[in-house]
Structure 1
Amino acid sequence: MDAQPLLFTLEEDSSGYEVSPQRVPMAVLRAFAKDVEDLLRGDGTEVDVSALEVSIVTGSLAIQTAPIAAPGLWRDMRQLASSERLDGLDKKRREVIERWQKLARSARRCVFGITAPGLAQVRVTVATDFHADDADQWVLVERYLQGEIVEMGGLKKVNAHIRLQDGTLIPVESEREVFRADKVNRLYKIAMARIRAEYNVVTRKYRNARLLGFEEHQQTLDEAQLARLTERGAKAWRDVPGASAWVDALRGSAT
């Protein structure tokens, strides 16, 4: 697709007046600009937003880009224009549209729009239902998570943040008593946390996680325990003349 400009619009009057380029709450402008940036950039580097020129135009509040030639971006825009299903959409762009849909249904009743030449207008309103099929595939689980504790405490909301080995950061809420009763300084250390949370079986994400407690775990090799296991294994296999041949026979392998 040839390079084309994109126009992103926001209609809102929750502050008692319609937002416009002449008058808009700073927080609203900042959040809208960040969402537009995330929609353009997505998860990858296809669009260099640092070098992209935009203009604030009359809409209610509208941001218009310079012409963009980015196949991935335009593929996602065409999907949004043709369907309210978000499956297959770039992860970052999907998160923005899901957020816009929630805002459209909230007390703020925002209306968001995306317009471009040759593209059917995309509007996110209280009447639309942009969603992914995996959005409701959540199950309640209780699990042990091992990771680095990078934040603990809080004045109003008491929680901890656990960074897993893959870099994922999971916030877990807690009762004050859990931290108060814990005698170990776990900040910036690897810990084993027992949590209860909702888990999405498709996206493998956690939400509404709650810390139930910390469990002690052995990070170093226990030589005595290894010796006991080795001895137990030797006794279990002592009547088998050839262990590998016995396993091959079980598998049905030809000798």
Structure 2
Amino acid sequence: GRLRVVDLAGSERVEDGVYHHTADRLQEMKAINYSLGCLQECVRAKVAGKTEFVPYRRCKLTLLLRDALEGEDVQLLAVCHVCPTRRHLAASTRTLEFAASMCSVSRATKERGGFRGVDKWTTKELQKFIAGLDDGKLAYAAPLFGNLNGKKMAIEWTGHVEQRVVAAGGTREDALRIFDAFHDRRRAETKKATKKASATRAKAAGASEADKSRQEFRASMKAKFAASFVPGEVVVIAG
């Protein structure tokens, strides 16, 4: 494998240095910001699956990093530095915003985005789930969750669920049954999604190893033919 470490210049605002820098320095700052913007676009396009066009040629930085960004088995780690002092608050905020935008297009985010778990349930889907528990015995409690969806239910306190159910004439056991059933389903689906994502990454890694083996085989065959090559012969090696 290869490890490539790139120290990128910081993103700067032109107005921050307009009274302190020369014209050449201001042009350099513009070029730095443009390069960082191009890098961000390339990462977004690549992770989003837009392989038909990734704008590597827009600047020298992305053109040089092209081979480090391509491939399913490529791992990209961005380390962003910020300053804790109030004086550099604006610059630190911009750096964190840049880091957040990079995180939002990570491969893991993409894989999670394709997974629709209980956290994304609508109110009707949540009520349907509750109504179907224990062969419909808890259907009476479903209307009590009319102001909740999957995301809100995921952070709902057990005591609040109990209050809803008891207020409708139910029991504490019924409330716990609803609460536990929802979170059991949530854990099971999360585990399934994680397993699927791991399998996808393992498959990509396996494909990379297969490519490596083929390349090694081709290299050995070329070396073998080169050692036994006789001038005047024509040897064709299909790759």
Q: TM-score, normalised by structure 1?
A: 0.21
The structure in which a higher percent of residues are strand is 1
Higher relative contact order (CA 8 A, sep 6+): 1
Q: TM-score, normalised by structure 2?
A: 0.22
